[in-house]
């Protein structure tokens, strides 16, 4: 009798475990290792001409982590480490107000219109998330930009119908997005390694980091590959960033071997050098490794902000990120970059900071790119 009860109990627990697994599978995002990403493109979108950008104005690229259009009026529950000394009665936020989102969308659109980049790489664009009222932020941004960007492609890297976290308790949806003035032929999503320290259950609901590749055909019959990426935060002490960096570099090396020029940009969540790490106050180094995983990118490719700039006497001009915290100190680190293939060069670049400090916890990185030789 005891054996029979035990067997029935085990069967019951097994059934519950199977049911729970099926529910989790149904409500979470399970992308493949490599898969096509959706592209939206007007039929009248012009073709890119790399020859034109060699002879005349360079191709202008902007990369910007827009922090789900939340603005800088909040300190979110995930912003501060556990040992941060909080002021008395200080409370972190779970989500931005609707008015803040609308204002930030207006400001992001203003900056993009003013800069007029040919290609825009955006990270942390919400779509269907409870914290941003289930809105499609890319669609809202494109409404504000009018007809300027006839083509775009996106891929989710955080998506679930429900996340059982006490500060979320609802749907999440966050994308990498690429906006282009020129025709996009196709887009591909490459899955990146998860955070090593996540357990199996947490991994189902956590971010699914990705590399988004967008292919632009040219008038000359060649193609330009544009990559957008947002590598893992909160992974110090693991090999997560090293594994993700190796995966990205493998794709870039294959692109170079194929003779295809490329540009990659995004939030790499890596400091530029050990010197930059040493120059940060000790209490602000907790998210980063001193021996930075960005080094192989600079060894292979031309990239900006250049290491010499990001650790030099004027390094504040090249900071791209600053914390949301009760007593904000302003930008204090460089973790966003743009790199190009050996057949391209970056004659000019800058971080736009004079009017963007209240828009996001990242600042837009802008670069002009041109071919070294006719392609």
Give the global pTM.
0.94
Predicted local distance difference test score (pLDDT) of residue 22 = 81
Question: Could you state, in order of their start, the residue ranges of all structural domains in the chain?
Answer: 1-30, 35-371
Task: Please list, in sequence order, all residues whose beta carbon lies within 8 angstroms of the beta carbon of residue 141, skipping any fewer than 6 positions away.
Answer: 105, 108, 109, 125
Is residue 30 helix, strand or coil?
coil
| Mean pLDDT, the chain, integer | 93
Instruction: Give dist(CA 326, CA 76) in Å, integer.
Output: 10
Name the nearest CA neighbour of 144 among 181, 176, 113.
113
Predicted local distance difference test score (pLDDT) of residue 83 = 83
CATH no. for 35-371: 3.60.10.10
Structure tokens at 311: 């650790």
**C-alpha distances out from residue 194 to 65, 72, 206, Å:** 20, 28, 9
Instruction: Give dist(CA 229, CA 121) in Å, integer.
Output: 9
The 10s digit of each residue's pLDDT in 118-154 is 999 999 999 999 999 999 999 999 999 999 999 999 9
pLDDT band at residue 3 using 50, 70 and 90 as cut-offs = very low
Name the nearest CA neighbour of 30 among 206, 165, 195.
206
pLDDT over threshold 70, residue 374: no
Q: For a pLDDT cut of 70, what percent of the chain falls above it?
A: 94
Distance of CA 185 to the CA centre of its chain: 22
The 10s digit of each residue's pLDDT in 57-115 is 899 999 999 999 999 999 999 999 888 888 998 999 999 999 999 999 999 999 999 99
pLDDT band at residue 7 using 50, 70 and 90 as cut-offs = very low
């Amino acid at each position: 009798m005891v054996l029979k009860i035990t067997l029935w109990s085990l069967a019951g627990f097994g059934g519950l475990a199977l049911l729970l697994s099926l529910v989790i599978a149904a409500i979470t995002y399970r992308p493949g290792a490599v898969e096509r990403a959706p592209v939206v493109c007007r039929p009248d979108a012009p073709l890119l001409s790399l020859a034109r950008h060699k002879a005349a104005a360079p191709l202008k690229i902007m990369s910007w982590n827009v922090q789900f259009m939340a603005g800088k009026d909040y300190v979110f529950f995930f912003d501060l480490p556990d040992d941060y000394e909080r002021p008395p009665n200080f409370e972190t936020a779970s989500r931005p107000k609707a008015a803040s989102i609308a204002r930030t969308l207006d400001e992001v659109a203003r900056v993009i219109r003013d800069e007029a980049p040919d290609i825009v790489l955006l990270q942390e664009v919400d779509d269907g998330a409870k914290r941003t009222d289930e809105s499609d932020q890319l669609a809202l941004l494109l409404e504000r930009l009018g007809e300027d960007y006839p083509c775009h492609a996106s891929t989710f890297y955080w998506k679930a119908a429900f996340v059982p976290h006490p500060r979320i308790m609802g749907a999440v949806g966050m994308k990498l997005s690429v906006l282009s003035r020129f025709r996009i032929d196709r887009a591909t999503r490459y899955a990146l390694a998860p955070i090593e320290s996540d357990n199996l259950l947490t991994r189902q609901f956590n971010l699914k980091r990705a590399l988004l590749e967008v292919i632009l055909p040219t008038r000359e019959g060649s193609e330009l590959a544009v990559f957008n990426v947002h590598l893992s935060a909160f992974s110090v002490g693991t090999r997560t960033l090293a594994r993700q960096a190796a995966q990205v570099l493998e794709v870039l090396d294959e692109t170079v071997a194929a003779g295809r020029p490329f540009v990659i940009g995004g939030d790499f969540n890596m400091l530029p050098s050990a010197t930059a790490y040493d120059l940060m106050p000790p209490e602000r180094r907790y998210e980063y490794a001193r021996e930075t995983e960005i080094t192989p990118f600079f060894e292979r490719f031309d990239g900006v902000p250049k290491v010499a700039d990001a650790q030099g006497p004027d390094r504040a001009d090249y900071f791209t990120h600053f914390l949301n915290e009760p007593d904000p100190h302003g930008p204090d680190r460089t973790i966003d970059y743009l790199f190009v293939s050996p057949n391209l060069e970056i004659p000019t670049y800058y971080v736009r900071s004079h009017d963007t400090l209240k828009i996001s916890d990242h600042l837009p990185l802008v670069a002009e790119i041109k071919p070294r030789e006719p392609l």
